[in-house]
Amino acid sequence: MERVTSHPASQGLFDRARQVSPGGVNSPVRAFRAVGGTPIFMRSGSGAWLTDVDGNRYVDLVGSWGPMLLGHAHPEVLAAVAEAVGRGTSFGTPSEPEVLLAEEIVGRTPVESVRLVSSGTEATMSAIRLARGFTGRDKIVKFAGCYHGHVDALLAEAGSGVVTLGLPETPGVPAHVTADTIVLPYNDRAAVEAAFEQYGDQIACLITEAAAGNMGVVPPEPGFNRFLAETCRKHGALFISDEVMTGFRVTRSGHWGLDGEPEGWRPDLLTFGKVMGGGFPAAAFGGRRDVMEQLAPVGPVYQAGTLSGNPIATTAGLTTLRLADTEAYARLDDASAQLQRLVAEALDAAGVTYALQSAGNMFSVFWGVDKPVTDFAGAQAQEAWRYRPFFHAMLDAGVYLPPSAYECWFVSAAHDSEALSRIAEALPAAARAAAQA
């Protein structure tokens, strides 16, 4: 097997990067703090593969953290982007690709009206402002372990107790900013009922990941999302389903179509990002028309962006979504199922205790747990240290995994038999390394 153990060019760039950027990175998890070692600087990607600045090749299971649904450098996406770039990069006016992308989103998802922004963080931040503006209420509910971007009010951690009024989890967020954030355990209906019992008439919205993917993959229990929507409705609060990760990935719309019977309920607002930008900064929030029309310029709730609906980003997103047809999702689902089987076989053979959890084609492994993980406390109880040697054994064998045990593994429609064979070859030794950790 090809070994990848030498990274002098990555090391050199990382040394330089640390001189000019905090931690040498522009987003913390990229720094490999959780797994140790030198972050790999990638130079190019093609299909399921990445090539680093030292010329090493890897099968990519990060997919830029979700956007690369079709794999890297899809020729039709590149051609559309090149053509769009030739016409200019930003106008600060309305442009046709924005309309086409909005129509595509409205056509695929339960939203009636959508506004484009540039990041998932912006989408959730704006959705929450809109919910507060629409309801005239201040409190928001979120779940421990659900990540919605680095929005101040959402960077609140759960403490003990059923209903926890949020405490900021990072310096720089004043306590009063999270004081209106109620943090509850995921999948816990009783906690949701208790919170709405106590604060129902003050709650503007509840936001949840459509399926939790940021504490590892923790699917909602059957009917949970519908229960949340109904509870919100009963109390006059809005239900925001964050589909930044799941949207256009787990089905052609997102997780909503997987939530059992979609008839009879839909989120009031949804947020999207990742896939819909095709690797460029594009995201969106949308939903009920009456709610969306509270936004400026129609309504009083302000929200704006210099590069919102950028013609290059919207062209890349639109082209990606148009290529993401039934056949592409079938390939993706199949590659994910095969990969999950390979991982389970290798971990079983090595005698590792684990829970492999999935939500549609998204999945992750919890190490050293022998029952399903249903919430953040369960996720944190895993033996995360087993991931470090596993990660490095896979990396050395040319497989690029997320550099943290708490992340989803992202497969693409370009993960073909060659990519899966590379992973299959790498897994047994990595599984043994995890077992011995």
Residue numbers at the binding site for ligand PMP (CB under 6 A) = 65, 119-121, 124, 147-149, 209, 214, 242, 244-245, 273, 283
Q: Which is nearer to ligand PMP, 128 or 332 (CB)?
A: 128
Closer CB to ligand PMP, residue 66 or residue 398?
Answer: 66
Q: DSSP 3-state assignment of 268?
A: coil
Give least dist CB 12 to ligand PMP, A: 28
Strand partners, 26: none
Question: Is 272 exposed, middle or buried, given 0-12, 13-18 or 19+ CB atoms closer than 10 A?
Answer: buried
Is 274 considered catalytic here? Answer: yes
* Alpha-carbon gap, residue 29 to 67, rounded angstroms: 17
- Annotated catalytic residue 242: yes
Least distance between ligand PMP and beta carbon 219 (Å): 14
Q: How far is the CB of 349 from ligand PMP (least distance, A)?
A: 32
Cα–Cα distance between 409 and 395 in angstroms, integer? Answer: 14
What is the DSSP secondary structure assignment for residue 295, as one 8-state letter? B
Q: Where are the alpha helices (DSSP H) in 61-111?
A: 75-86, 96-108
Looking at beta carbons, which residue is closest to ligand PMP?
120
Catalytically annotated residue among 147, 199, 400, 406 = 147
Nearer to ligand PMP, 143 or 196 (CB): 143
249, 274 contact by CB (below 8 A): yes
Count other C-beta atoms under 10 Å from residue 161's C-beta: 12
Residue 284 C-beta: closest distance to ligand PMP, Å: 11
Residue number, 42 or 117, with CB nearest to ligand PMP: 117
Distance CA 422, CA 316 (A): 29
Least Å distance, CB 49 to ligand PMP, is 23
147 catalytic per annotation: yes
Q: Dihedral sign for Cα 174, 176, 177, 182, please.
A: positive
Q: Is 248 left (phi over 0), alpha (psi -120 to 50) or beta?
A: left
- Which is the catalytic residue, given 139, 274, 354, 400? 274
In the bound state with ligand PMP, the residue whose beta carbon lies nearer, of 199 and 366, is: 366
Least CB distance to ligand PMP at residue 353 (A): 27
Written as one letter, the residue type at 366 is F
β-sheet with 139-143: strand ranges across: 113-117, 283-287, 269-272, 238-242, 203-209, 139-143, 181-184, 164-165
**Marked catalytic residue, from 242, 259, 268, 375:** 242
Query: Can you tell me the distance from the alpha carbon of 288 to that of 270, in angstroms, rounded to the nearest whole number?
Result: 9
Evaluate the CA torsion angle 130, 134, 138, 140 in order and state its sign. Answer: negative
* 64 versus 202: smaller Cβ distance to ligand PMP: 64
Nearer to ligand PMP, 30 or 57 (CB): 30
User: Residue 119's closest CA among 250, 318, 305, 311?
Assistant: 305
Q: Catalytic positions, please?
A: 147, 242, 274
